[in-house]
Amino acid sequence: MVKKIISAMLCVIIPFGGMIMLTSCDTVQNNYTLQFVTTPIQTDADVSTIPCDITLSDTTFSATPSSFSKDLSLLSLTLSSAAYSYTYALDNLETLGFEHFGKFNYSDEYNSNAVGTIIASKKLYDTTIVAIIFRGTFEKEWFSNFDIGRDVNTTKVHSGFNKAREFALKKLDMYIANYGIDRDHCKFLVTGHSRGGAVANLVSKSLIDTYGPSNVYAYTFATPNTTTDENASDNRYAGIFNFINPEDFIAYIPLKSWGFTKYGTTIAFPKNNSNDTYNEKLRKVSQYYESLKGRKLKTFGGTKQMEEFINTAFKLAPSITDYYDTKYEIAGLQLSVHEYMTVVANVLTNENIISNGLILMSSDGTAFEPFSNYIMSGMETESDGFSLDYDNSMIAYAHTAETYLAWMYVYTEDM
């Protein structure tokens, strides 16, 4: 659904993709109803949709990318959520007037070292807007997420995410060539959630280096750290906005103490400091979340547990070499932190669920006990066979896109 709000008197009317656009003294605000897709953390969990109202004006892509846009941030998060289900992503992009759809790594040629990628474009006056949307973690991509790379001191980039970045850039170059897009007259909107956010972060950096910072609008959510580049916070990357929940451990790995960070501007939602301002914000977030999801929001009540998880990770693996090579005993096995996270990946993808689940549940008194306690917090073990209900875990509540949407509503409500 599209509605239009026209301010003041009409000056010049220009047809644009079925919408009325005005130039000179007036602008048009276009209201769209898109489908926000809830994002389960486990591969085989169901998705559902929530109507989400988005407003864009004809001047949205005239603004400087480093100037935060409430409208683009909410649009980006909605598109990021829909990337988990291509059908909804396509519907949303068509509603927005995009065409020439490209879909990569969604079907038979699936590559777990790549990333689900959707590309679409539309003309805006003499400029082509290219939207690039990355899906969050799917199936065996969990293993890529935990493959930081032994040579990161040389490459300065997370190995698994970088392979996905290279895949995405090749598909983008092919798309631009196939549709004859003028590289001197195009702008990019790049977004993603979780793994998709990490790839969006790296792809945005590459596009800024190629096309310039005035042509790349980037909004990422629940974004893991991606790089050890000392120039990651350079002003040229200020138009990459990364939103993180302080209770979401995925946004804090790989570790800052290993030198990792993200390109661009990172914005953390408020964390619990037990003051009235925070409590009021959390009350609003909880109301939004319940209206979106139909269940009450659970939180850790602060960042203590997440910080303990991060501190334990650094204690067990003070370097990337230790992450891969230093081993500790659990369930009669000798595992490194990387091997332990591989067990977690197996559980999330339902690989050998009984044996891997039992490893996680056998961590009491071991070096990995804080890890398992944190990961399994709030989770129920289902008695029908053996199954771990990750979508009701505390880490899922902290990480999913609908939690981020509730926080974004509160974060932007006064803008």
pLDDT value for 17: 39
On the question of pLDDT at 12 being above 50, the answer is no
- From the list 341, 337, 344, 41, the residue with the least C-alpha distance to 194 is 41
Do 113 and 144 form a contact (C-beta atoms < 8 A)?
A: yes
pLDDT over threshold 90, residue 196: yes
- Give the mean pLDDT of the chain: 87
pLDDT for 300 equals 86
Between 20-29, 154-163, 176-185, the lowest mean confidence (pLDDT) is in 20-29
pLDDT on residue 269: 93
Measured CA to CA in angstroms, residue 49 lies from 36, 156, 397 at distances of 5, 38, 17
Q: Is 328 exposed, middle or buried (0-12, 13-18, 19+ CB in 10 A)?
A: middle
Which of 138-147, 171-180, 336-345 has the highest average model confidence (pLDDT)?
171-180
Residue 33 has pLDDT above 80, yes or no: yes
Does the pLDDT of residue 311 top 80, yes or no? Answer: yes
Q: 2-295+397-412, which class in CATH?
A: alpha beta
Write down the pLDDT at residue 350.
73
37 vs 386: which has the higher pLDDT = 37
What gap in Å lies between CA 415 and CA 410, rounded to an integer? 10
User: Quick one: tokens of 220?
Assistant: 């990422």
φ, ψ of residue 334 to 5 degrees: the values are -110, 110
Percent of the chain at pLDDT exceeding 90? 63
- What is the mean predicted confidence (pLDDT) over 405-415? 89
The phi and psi torsions of 130 (rounded to 5 degrees) equal -110, 120
In the predicted structure, residue 271 carries a pLDDT above the cut 90: no
- CB proximity list for 367: less than 8 A, separation 6 or greater: 312, 316, 328, 329, 330
Give 283's pLDDT tier (boundaries 50, 70, 90).
very high
The identity of residue 161, as a single letter, is F
- pLDDT at residue 316, rounded to an integer: 96
Closest among 323, 199, 301 to 257, alpha carbons compared: 323
Domain boundaries, given as residue ranges, for the chain: 2-295+397-412, 304-376
Q: Which residue has the higher pLDDT, 22 or 165?
A: 165
Look at residue 39 and tell me whether its pLDDT is greater than 80: no
Rg, Å, the chain Cα set: 22
Q: Is the dihedral of CA 312, 318, 324, 328 positive or negative?
A: negative
Mean pLDDT, rounded, for 326-346:
92
Which amino acid appears at position 344 of this protein? V
Mind listing the pLDDT tens digit for each residue in 48-75?
Answer: 888 989 989 878 999 999 999 999 999 9
Q: What would the 3-class secondary structure string for the chain be? A: CEEEEECCCCCEEEEECCEEEEECCCCEEEEEEEEEECCCCCCCCCCCEEEEEEEEECCHHHCCCCCCCHHHHHHHHHHHHHCCCHHHHHHHHHHCCCEEEEEECCCCCCCCCCCCEEEEEEEECCEEEEEEEECCCCCCHHHHHCCCCCCHHHHCECHHHHHHHHHHHHHHHHHHHHCCCCHHHEEEEEEEECHHHHHHHHHHHHHHHHHCHHHEEEEEECCCCCECCCCCCCHHHCCEEEEECCCCHHHHCCCHHHCCECCCEEEECCCCCCCHHHHHHHHHHHHHHHHHHCCCCCCCCCCHHHHHHHHHHHHHCCCHHHHHHCEEEECCEEEEHHHHHHHHHHHHCCCCHHHHHHHHCCCCCCCCHHHHHHHCCCCCEECCCCEECHHHCHHHHHHCHHHHHHHHHHHHCCC
Helix axes 337-348, 353-360, angle to 10 degrees: 130
Query: pTM for this one?
Result: 0.90
- Give the CA angle between residues 234, 238, 243 to the nearest 5°: 120
Q: Given this model, what pLDDT does residue 29 score?
A: 84
